[in-house]
Structure 1
Amino acid sequence: MDPADDAVTLSEGAVTALRGALPDVADRTVDAIITEVPSYENALSGPMGATIRQAVQLALGGFVALVSGTPAAAGTRRDPRRPATASTRGAYDLGRGEARSGRSMEALLAAYRIGARVSWRELSRVAVDHGVGARMLAEFAELVFAFIDELSAASAAGHADELAASGRVRRRRLERIAHLLLERAPADAVHAVVASTDWEPPETLTALVVRSDQVRAVLTSVDPATLQPADELPALADGERTLLLVPDVRRSLLLEQLGRYDAVVGPTVPWLEVRTSYDRVERALGLPRPDGTDRVDGLLDTDDVLVDLVVHADPAARAALRARALAPLEGVRPDTAARLEETLRAWLLHQGRREEVAAALFVHPQTVRYRMGRVRELWGDALGDPEVVRELVVALA
């Protein structure tokens, strides 16, 4: 059966009395909210309070109109449990405004609960004074609370929609900040975007690349103000890795927190220079590994591979240097040349200490003596030239 068919219909005298009581009911409702919900104390004490009082009065007036028997259209009557479109739109907009003001949904729902209680207390008193019996009073109570539930649901929807919209706007602005930083945009341009959001510029930023399936877990371990660029960077084009820019963190602590994740961590730099941190991470991702595994298998601190980064910074120059420095091996059989190269490298690194070279190569010291004799034949007196030795150290690094 349609709820409107057996809806409460109040006498003309009761309706008139209810309408006359609305200003006082609105005042009492707002006063109760101010008293019982601290976050509304300042918001409702000034001009905003007068606006809300009027809104409460209009909403309750709409309810009284519904229960008064006023037809919504010829031959029809609205269900008093359901506010008119204008009332729900107002409640929806109220929810959005509360979100923009920074008040929580809990505060808004508490205000509605208090409003329902006070409104029912005041309206029921007027209804009883004008002859409304117990049975009708119970039905009247149901309508009051159902009506306010509908309004609170509309406000909750508005609050949620505003948070979602503002969250998207904030994310886009943070992504824009990250984009400008990675593009090395002028400081003025970066500061202009920062000024439009609530992101507080840190002293430093640290770039790190983590496996995309671990991003959520990593974000719970770092500062919530961490930037996550949306732009697809060349080194991350496969989508399997994600860049994060972490503000004001001690690298030792960050490395400890990331211990169980697969990540590459760059240096900590002044926040406007974070591109240099990312550049180092990007170069580290391109370094070859002896075992052929991905550089994001496990945790890698770029400070631990500085020599490799320098040596591999210019592959073409390094290839030319190797060709020149190792030219004496050109006429030697490839397998023999490989053994002599390996031995010369160990000899240079261990500064000619034969026992240590043998241990590093897992060969007998006499083998080292034989091989180095062959090396000296090939290089001759050049092995005594510091410049030649310097080139060999870099070429064989």
Structure 2
Amino acid sequence: MGLDPQVADALRSRLAEVANRAVLTIIDEVPSYAGSLSGRMGEVIRNAVQLALGGFLTLATRQDADAPKAPAIEGAYQLGRGEARSGRTVEALLAAYRVGARVSWRDMADAAVAAGIDPGQLARFAELVFAYIDELSAASVAGHTDELESSGRVRQRNLERLARALLTGAPADAVNAAAERADWDPPVTLTAVVLPESQVSAALTALDPRTLQSSDDVPGLPEGHASLLAPGTGSAGARPALLRSLQGTDAVVGPSTPWLEAAASHRRALRCAALGLEGQVDADEHLAALLLGADPEARADLRARVLAPLADLRPSTAEKLTDTLRSWLLNHGRRDAVAEELFVHAQTVRYRVGQLREVYGDRLEDPAFVLDATLALA
């Protein structure tokens, strides 16, 4: 049985309002659509939503459950092709459908209840709404796929080649030529992101549509991981926004660099990934660890040289004095701070520092030795 005409009229009177709220929510909740409200794209999205809802109401009031849906299906198919040409992923497109369906159903159900729909018809109405949305989203995915498999396929290959050129540090003229072939507008900055392959789809949904990914093996990349290059504006708030977009992932985020220097960001991200840290990792917060780990053999040699005067002591004594020397250096000689860190009495610290002075003598006051010891023991 079709939808009651009185209920349908009440719903139709609110189509523009429902469509506008759905579009606003999509733009707010799906990062790939951020900034799409104004201009031609915003109008296209708003009209597409309103047309789809209007087509649904026309079908819902028909007695024939198999009433033709060709205009709406064709519109959804063309929407999918257009989104592919705009560089948006199919994940972003489906996310927009999920958000739009949720908002539209909530508003339309409220209006239907206010218009006096009975419970049985409301349940049938819900079935029709979500079946209709499924058909539209499937048509959009088909359009998106067809576009990528035709004209989009060539551009995708060019984007992948551009990503590899940037990640491997190709000459600037070669990178610029690759960007032109890919019809890719260079941003102010690029930030390398290394993350598990299983998290790439979710990350691409949240990141700028111009984000690049290389499909080839990238030298130095851990097995099971992928490299992305996320565009940025260079503004103060751009990096915090990028990190928020990657919340919930195990992404290692390199520094933001001028776009032609993206290879430097990628090298830093790979070195930071090698530290074995868990969860989301901002390479900018681990510069000291990266510096100290840059040449492990040199650091080991430096440590051995710094601790050489303790070599003749009993191992347990040498270990205690090593811990005390490290804490004493890092706490700038503040006895109470050293005692708190080592869980010993301040007098014990005083005694151990006295032992260190007997072993090292004036070197404890030598800035060059202090620097070597701090780096070796940090």
CA 1:234–1:332: 2 relative to 1, 3 Å: farther
Q: How far apart in 2 are the matches of 1:242 and 1:163?
A: 21
Aligned twin of 2:324:
343
Aligned twin of 2:150:
165
Q: How far apart in 1 are the matches of 2:351 and 2:184?
A: 66
Aligned twin of 2:232:
248
Q: How far apart in 2 are the matches of 1:346 and 1:263?
A: 33
CA 1:342–1:160: 2 relative to 1, 3 Å: closer
Structure with bigger gyration radius: 1
Number of aligned residue pairs = 240
Partner SS for 1:268: strand
Aligned twin of 1:235:
220
Residue from 316, 319, 324 that aligns with 2:297: 316
Report which structure shows greater RCO (CA 8 Å, sep ≥6).
Answer: 2
1:377 paired to 2:358: yes
Residue from 264, 282, 300 that aligns with 2:270: 282
Partner SS for 1:326: helix
CA 1:189–1:373: 2 relative to 1, 3 Å: same
TM-score by length of 2: 0.59
- Are the counterparts in 1 of residues 164 and 218 from structure 2 also a CA contact under 8 Å? no
Q: Which runs of 5+ in 2 are unaligned?
A: 1-43, 45-77, 87-141
Deviation at 1:209, TM superposition (A): 1.0
CA 1:246–1:348: 2 relative to 1, 3 Å: same
Identity within the alignment, %: 53
Deviation at 1:158, TM superposition (A): 10
One-letter amino acid matched to 1:376 = R
Aligned twin of 2:177:
192
Aligned twin of 1:394:
375
Q: Which runs of 5+ in 1 are unaligned?
A: 1-38, 40-94, 104-156, 288-293
Deviation sequence 1:47-70 (CA, Å, 0-9, x none): xxxxxxxxxxxxxxxxxxxxxxxx
Residue from 354, 362, 369 that aligns with 2:343: 362
TM-score by length of 1: 0.56
Aligned twin of 2:160:
175
One-letter amino acid matched to 1:387 = A
Partner SS for 1:238: coil
One-letter amino acid matched to 2:227 = L
- Are the counterparts in 1 of residues 191 and 257 from structure 2 also a CA contact under 8 Å? yes
CA 1:370–1:158: 2 relative to 1, 3 Å: closer
Describe how 1:52-67 pairs up with structure 2 within 5 A. Answer: none
Q: How far apart in 2 are the matches of 1:364 and 1:323?
A: 28
Deviation at 1:242, TM superposition (A): 1.4
One-letter amino acid matched to 1:383 = L
Q: How far apart in 2 are the matches of 1:347 and 1:158?
A: 66
CA 1:205–1:383: 2 relative to 1, 3 Å: same
Deviation at 1:260, TM superposition (A): 1.8
Q: How far apart in 2 are the matches of 1:364 and 1:185?
A: 58
CA 1:158–1:220: 2 relative to 1, 3 Å: closer
- Are the counterparts in 1 of residues 191 and 229 from structure 2 also a CA contact under 8 Å? yes
Aligned twin of 1:89:
none
1:268 paired to 2:256: yes
